[in-house]
Amino acid sequence: MSQSTDLSWHQNVEENGRQPPLSLQDVHVSYRTRKGSVQAVRGVTLDLQAGESLALIGESGSGKTTLGLGIVRLLVDTAEVSPGKIIYRRDGREVDVLSLADGPMREFRWRDCAMVFQSALNAFNPVLKVWDQVWDTAKAHRWNNREEVRERFLDLLRFVQLDPSRVIDAYAHELSGGMRQRTLLAISLLLDPQILILDEPTTALDILTQRTIIDLLRKLKEDLHFTMLFISHDLAIAAELADRVATMYAGQVVELGPVEDIFYRPRHPYSLGLIRAVPTVTGGFEELSSIPGSPPDLINLPTGCKFHPRCPYASERCSSEEPKLERVGDNHFAACWHTDAVQDDIERNGLRGKKRS
Amino acid sequence: MTPILQLRNVTRYFGSGRDRVTAVDSISLDIEPGEIVCLVGESGCGKSTTGRMIVGLLPPSDGQILYQGQDISAMDKPDYQQYRRAVQIIHQDPYASLNPTQTVRQMIMTPLLRHQSQRSAQNGSGGGRRSRRRDVERRAAELLEIVDLTPVAEFLDKYPHQLSGGQRQRVSVARALTVEPKFIVADEAVSMVDVSIRVSLLNMLSRLKEEFDVTFLFITHDLALAKYFAWEGRITVMYLGRIVEEGPTPRLITDSRHPYTQALLGAVPEADPELAKKKTHIELRSAEIPSLLNLPAGCTFHPRCPYIAEGECDTVVPPLERISEGGSVACPVRMSEPTQII
């Protein structure tokens, strides 16, 4: 299975160092529009460690999907990724994804970095049977042994708990939403990629179907130690599946840390606001509070900290000076001038709202 | 007190012959004035069809819907018109439910003007056209304030595309309020809105209940939201067209009895890593939901249910029976087994 890929590799300097397979370095993405340039991603620096699952959370317009699509370079033509570097490493070698030519880029996608898209129905070709699409994919990556491909795909279908005979000769519309999502996951694993990017993998699925997908992804994470990047607006997905969480707001990572730190010891007001806005099912009743205002206009961004117009702790400094990610704990970073105030608030008022019996 | 709304064995089919789908299968539900009832279930369970029948957008195939004790299919025209005004719906998708060519002002004022002219025709009182328009303008501004679209002047002349999802949904609510409804069906009204804004919308709806005495039927697939919104009300769980369990929210959340309710509660992902690890999940025998075209006999949940009693569950449709802890459960096998998900 592990045929060598044909990327224009650079020999990595630190060959023996345990380098992360993916490093984003100061990545910017903007979209050209008639009204001006939309600053969708502004200076994201992030390492994806081998075997970890990292969740990018944030609301619509926070830049999380743009960032995901940027990594596999599937953005629309009006998008520009610059400046910034997306360093990909495998077998002690590294390459800047943004510098790859079309051919190597096609190799990189799927074989090195596969993406599972949000809308499973749209990800399939409606006039091809599932198997034909799988075979197409394999051929495009010069894997021409039909028997071998079929064998591998059947294994994968069983792994995602689907009955291969039901799926392999079906058209996408003949499958239920959950089956489609699982089939898509199986196809994404076909070429044994090193990194899996999942964009809202459970959104629009029913609760019980969501659970089967979450359990499946957990199996990928815990048993196979897959390196995964989750993109989701749903905090629950992060809580269920992530080792680390990056909160995004207005195109930037505003907080980054181990999942327990983000959920129990958040230091950015936006992360805290999200936690206080989301109800849990089990347990008693908790008061919720929403974040006032609405997300910023990405063409005319506020000055200083982009969250300051909605922030309860905002001071004068926030409207003039933009905070950078600073260390607030072991592997825990937040971009806020008032992380102490956030900590105080949690100590005084509790993490979540008041309980009612 | 007469319930404001009653469903009596309401059934709704779609299609005919072999393609006939039973979306709602003989459900009965009483809602008292001022109550909050949440209708919860997965896609295809019939919750939206039920909502559409309640507001009169869809006639039932069988059974009766009573508004203030009166069968809506037997009402005379004035009564029916009054019912249609009194029962309003807020749709899921604020991008589709607002006319893109109208400003907020037009959307709010059109029903107000129509409503008012009808009322003055009834009362025989005229009033100048101009003063009527002034009244209506004032009322429109009030309504926008009620739904927190302030400063009002900033929103009156906006088109839907100039508003965010949350703001659009507020316009939908203001529009529903123009006719002074007594009963509002909110069909997934906050599911398309960002999490940080959801709560303020929910709180605004709760306030309407207090201030205007509106009774709510809140339709959602999200149990966590249902719990939050209807903590002082009731939750009704539907599965494949039938009600499988209903009861006061705290009881239903902490001590559910129907295996399907338990499966749902256990499956909901929690935005809390510790809770997510601790939760017990009910292992279902099948992950696939049966097709509405070919429903299983007996209890429709039996092919997936881990507690199946062969010979019973697969033959007899279980009736909804009351339990002493509050509400009722359609599962004779498990109804007296207290269960906690945590």
pLDDT of A292 > 70? The answer is yes
Q: Are residues B73 and B12 in the same domain?
A: yes
pLDDT above 60 for A12: no
Cα–Cα distance for residue pair B225/B208, rounded to 1 Å? 17
Checking if the pLDDT of A162 tops 60, the result is yes
Name B87's bridge partners: B183
Rounded to the nearest integer, the mean pLDDT of chain A is: 87
Number of domains in chain B: 2
**Shortest Cα–Cα distance, A4 to chain B (Å):** 38
Check residue B127 and give its pLDDT: 62
Which residues on B lie below 8 Å from A212 (Cβ)?
287
Partners of A236 on chain B (C-beta within 8 Å) are 268-271, 276
Q: Do B269 and A237 touch (CB under 8 A)?
A: yes
pLDDT at A324: 93
CA-angle at B179, arms to B178 and B183, nearest 5°? 110
ipTM (interface predicted TM): 0.85
Q: B126 and B66 in one domain?
A: no
Q: In the prediction, which pLDDT does B119 show?
A: 65
Considering the domain boundaries, does residue B38 fall inside one? Answer: yes
Written as six digits, the tokens of B173 are: 């609510």
At residue A6, the pLDDT reads: 44
Strand partners, A86: A24
Query: For residue B137, which phi and psi values (nearest 5 degrees)?
Result: -60, -40
Instruction: Examine residue B334 and state whether it is found in any structural domain, yes or no.
Output: no
For residue A195, give the 3-state DSSP assignment: strand
**Rounded average pLDDT over A168-185:** 88
> CB of B326 within 8 A of CB of B246?
no
Q: How confident is the model at residue A7 (pLDDT cuts 50, 70, 90)?
A: very low
Closest partner residue to B284 (CB to CB) among A208, A278, A280 is A208
| Predicted pLDDT of residue A159 | 87
Summarize pLDDT for A67-109 with one digit per residue, the tens. Answer: 999 999 989 999 999 899 999 988 878 889 999 898 888 888 8
Same domain? B298 vs B318: yes
Architecture of domain A19-242: 3-Layer(aba) Sandwich (3.40)
Q: Residue A8: its pLDDT value, please? A: 45
Do B168 and B261 fall into the same domain?
A: yes
- B270: nearest CB among A179, A264, A281: A281
Torsion B16-B18-B19-B25 (CA) sign: positive
Domain carrying residue B117: 102-158
φ/ψ of B322, rounded to 5, equals -70, 145
User: Which of B191, B195, B237 to probe by mutation at the A interface, max A CB count within 10 Å?
Assistant: B195
Whole-number pLDDT of residue B342: 59
Q: Are residues B295 and B173 in the same domain?
A: yes
Residues A65, A68, A71: CA angle, nearest 5 degrees = 150
Q: Is residue B214 part of a domain?
A: yes
Distance between CA A312 and CA A269 in Å, rounded? Answer: 8
Same domain for B32 and B64, yes or no, is yes
pLDDT at position B27 is 95
Q: Chain B contact for A126, CB < 8 A?
A: no
Whether B17 and B54 have beta carbons less than 8 Å apart is answered as no
Q: Do B287 and A259 lie within an 8 Å CB cutoff? A: no
Structure-block tokens of residue A316: 């004068």
Across the interface, whether the CB atoms of B253 and A282 are under 8 A apart is answered yes
Which of B116, B135, B158 is the C-terminal boundary of a domain? B158
Last residue of a domain, one of B139, B158, B177: B158
Average the pLDDT over A308-336 and give the result. Answer: 94
Q: What is the CATH number of the domain that holds B238?
A: 3.40.50.300
In a shared domain, residues B77 and B35: yes
Do B274 and B233 share a structural domain? Answer: yes
User: What are B276-281's contacts with CB under 8 Å, separation 24+?
Assistant: B276/A236, B276/A239, B276/A240, B278/B342, B279/A282, B279/B341, B279/B342, B280/B341, B280/B342, B281/A211, B281/A215
In chain A, where are the structural domains located?
19-242, 253-356
Answer with the one of B127, B158, B189 that is the final residue of a domain.
B158
Query: Do residues B108 and B133 share a domain?
Result: yes
- Whether B187 is covered by a domain: the verdict is yes
Residues of chain B with pLDDT under 70: 117-127, 340-342
